[in-house]
Chains A and B, each alone.
Chain A
């Protein structure tokens, strides 16, 4: 592993192929996750997003055990899980919560089993860590094509059903009255969500995938009240955090004690967290400012009234 690391980090940031693969896969997955994330937050489905990441990990770890590409393991298991989760009823939020919780607990158990079996069979334990926490710099460049294809599919699905989802987020009965196929919208969105989550799981790991799904969208919804604008802001935040995180992770090899490069996953998620905190603080401050301005305006009006105008 140290040998590989040396290989990656000895070149310049933009002249190393592994860095380009990391930027392409990580950045594109972040873009897809940010767009799906806006609707995930609107629909209150962040828990389902997390569950899909964990169930995808079953496929990812299964692929690790069999020694095949983790991308298809993640995506296969995630999409299957999405359809099952949406179709087995779950009409009520409470049922959805419980079913999701129980199913994904079992999923993590299976992941533990597969990773254990895989490492005892002699696969590298670094790969086991990669399933859970991601390993952007050791992604096979061969997956770039499929990642972009699946990401475009996810984006297309979200765009296709975006108005259905918006109206349903307002009220499901109004949506039905207007002729929105609410069940179909739910299934299609879950598939899009699964694709977005699994691509993100491939880049920063199953455990951390939710951060890139929810974080940028949550930031965006703090600062804008329009869906198209929220999608743009979320994409900028998500892709920005990912690129910056990859850069910091790469550079940390030079200045971290003992040349132990910090994992890109950690850097990305930490920056997302800082972004979210900043928007919260900014929002609170600007709300307080607006209130004070409002008070001043009321003051002026009452003064005018006193003057008899």
Chain B
């Protein structure tokens, strides 16, 4: 496939991909492109293969059919790719401080002893500062809380100025204020550095202001649309197989699990915005 002149080469190109795990087809006929700087939300109910899709982009899960090209290669690896998995279980005694973890995001794939210069450490501290974790710098990673670890791992993924970051449930362990903060940060970095973001989330609400497009996985297939196309009552209700309501509160789009008839009064008076996970 040759790039048409004037058209940007996509960061990720997924064509007709399928993954089979343990004899079960997780999903098939998945195909979409991710453009540089694009912010993509990956949604779907539990077990629909969101994490598997991220891992397929990483190349750690083999494809049964089709192909995935990341940055022009068969699988994504290295400096241009940041990744934060969903569950990282860190040994409390692991002898790595937060700053060591972030530094490994820069040079962990290199051979030899780490002899890091002052400018490397400054870069590391800046990355920690960006996620508001500079005061955790000297602490052992395994002794931090889940939310603190999440911030440090995020700094680890962003420190190398990647062209693409894959984030698996990056907001799961964070309190509501931190969620807003991290989402704003990701949106800003994505715009400023032209960094593409693919993240999975159960709760789309805090992400709606920054998402360019949504990929939704359901019944073994993926569909892609802009946020306006997907964040609609009828589309989401069909996707989740249970009533979902999309309403606008004070100029903000909010997705709510609906119980029977829409209770608009409750919606209008629910302030602050409800952030219940979708069923």
Contact = CB atoms under 8 A, between A and B. Distances in A.
A300 to B, nearest CB: 20
A133 interface: no
Contact of B107 (A163, A227, A230): A163
Contacts of B88: 170-171, 174
A160 interface: yes
A225 interface: yes
Interface stretch (A116-124, A175-183, A239-247): A175-183
A159 B112 contact: yes
Interface in A162-177: 162-164, 166-167, 169-171, 173-177
Given A159-B113, A160-B111, A178-B109, A170 B104 contact: yes
B177 interface: no
Given A169-B91, A177-B76, A177-B166, 16 more contacts: A42-B91, A160-B111, A163-B107, A163-B108, A163-B111, A163-B112, A163-B113, A163-B114, A173-B85, A176-B58, A178-B77, A178-B78, A179-B79, A225-B96, A226-B97, A227-B96
A180 B108 CA distance: 7
Interface of B: 55, 58-60, 76-79, 81-85, 88, 90-91, 93-97, 100-101, 104-105, 107-114, 140-141, 153, 156, 166
Contact of A224 (B83, B95, B141, B156): B95
A44 to B, nearest CB: 8
Contacts, number: 100
A36 interface: no
A34 to B, nearest CB: 14
A228 interface: yes
Contacts of B153: 174
Contacts of B94: 42, 169-170
A225 B140 contact: yes
Contacts of B90: 170-171
Contacts of B110: 163
A228 B59 CA distance: 32
Residue among A159, A166, A180 facing the most chain B CB atoms (10 A cut-off): A166
Contacts of A170: 88, 90, 94, 96, 101, 104, 141
Contacts of A44: 91
B104 A230 contact: no
Nearest to B84: A174
22 contacts: A44-B91, A159-B113, A160-B112, A163-B108, A164-B108, A164-B111, A166-B104, A167-B104, A170-B101, A170-B104, A171-B88, A173-B55, A174-B85, A174-B156, A176-B60, A177-B81, A178-B77, A178-B78, A225-B95, A226-B95, A227-B96, A227-B100
A209 B47 CA distance: 46
Contacts of A173: 55, 58, 60, 83, 85
A276 B59 CA distance: 42
Contacts of B93: 221
Contacts of A175: 108-109
